[in-house]
Amino acid sequence: MDGARHMSGDRFQVITSSMHREYRNLVRGLTRIVWPEFMLHDPVANENWHELLERFADFQFALYDSEMGRVAGMGNSFPLRWEEPLENLPDDGWDWAFTEAVKNHKQGVMPNIHCAIQIIIHPDYRSQGLSAPIIQAVRAVTKAQGLRTLIIPIRPSEKSHYPLTGMDDYITWKTDDELPFDAWLRAHVRLGARIIKVCHQSKTIRGTRAEWEVWTKMKFPQSGSYIIPGALNPIEMDVEKNEGVYVEPNVWIVHEMNWL
């Protein structure tokens, strides 16, 4: 538990939903604050979110600010079974992982891998050096659960400034010191993660034209591609079908831990 020990006695403590009675109240609303509205309409997420606390309570954690008595960040994850090479992880990354973990658990399949689906910092706590501690916290969960491999369908958040660049190209962009250009990818790589590949259809979000207009405060008078604030790729609006589709690309990364 190097992550937890690193912060014990410190202002920020790692808590999990199974160990802290108030966890549910402490993290309430955080997801809603952090994401652009349309990101809250992935049906796979909405149908399965309750499963996190019901089935995988030890895998839901938060970074607790003991001085302020509030949560600075949170992470959601679960174990799943994966026997093939990591290079074969599915193209529908996030949606697949969530569905697969629930299925494995229902069938009593023994998990062998840890997968994180959300790691977020409250806006009030950004730019304060908390991304490393929260990544260390999720790595600590991997170890605490006796697993060696942590995979994440990561959302490279700065990609939203570059919606016309392919994700396969974007992940090759580097800083002057040869680290990934994207700050969130970089934070993981600095702590030992490796990029596996892009998962091009990690989340699929569909809505009517009226729904998209509410979610984005834009208008969609005609069919076509639209750039949406906060989206990593353009959405496709089909006015005749009254449907807008956003397919979010993420990036499979892995933290391998030789902790035995």
| Interface contacts to another protein, rule CB under 8 A | 161-165, 169, 173-174, 181, 218-219, 221-222, 224-227, 234
**For another protein, which is the closer residue by CB, 105 or 186?**
186
Q: What is the DSSP string of 66-111?
A: TTTTEEEEEEEEEEE---S-GGG--TTHHHHHHHHHHHHHHTTPPP
117 by DSSP, 3-state: which?
strand
**For another protein, which is the closer residue by CB, 64 or 215?**
215
| Minimum distance, C-beta of residue 141 to another protein, in the bound complex (Å) | 34
As given in the structure block, the two tokens for residue 196 are 């596996």
Side chain identity at 124, as an amino acid letter? D
| Minimum distance, C-beta of residue 121 to another protein, in the bound complex (Å) | 22
For the chain, how far is it from start to end, CA to CA, in angstroms?
A: 12
| Minimum distance, C-beta of residue 143 to another protein, in the bound complex (Å) | 36
CB-count exposure of residue 93 (10 Å: 0-12, 13-18, 19+): buried
Q: Phi and psi at residue 141, in whole multiples of 5°?
A: -65, -40
| Minimum distance, C-beta of residue 186 to another protein, in the bound complex (Å) | 13
| Minimum distance, C-beta of residue 37 to another protein, in the bound complex (Å) | 16
**For another protein, which is the closer residue by CB, 56 or 170?**
170
**For another protein, which is the closer residue by CB, 214 or 227?**
227
As given in the structure block, the two tokens for residue 134 are 């929260």
Q: Where are the beta strands (DSSP E) in the chain?
A: 12-16, 60-65, 70-80, 113-121, 149-154, 194-207, 224-226, 235-238, 243-256
Q: What whole-number distance in Å separates Cα of residue 166 and Cα of residue 96?
A: 21
| Minimum distance, C-beta of residue 232 to another protein, in the bound complex (Å) | 12
**For another protein, which is the closer residue by CB, 148 or 209?**
209
**For another protein, which is the closer residue by CB, 33 or 214?**
214
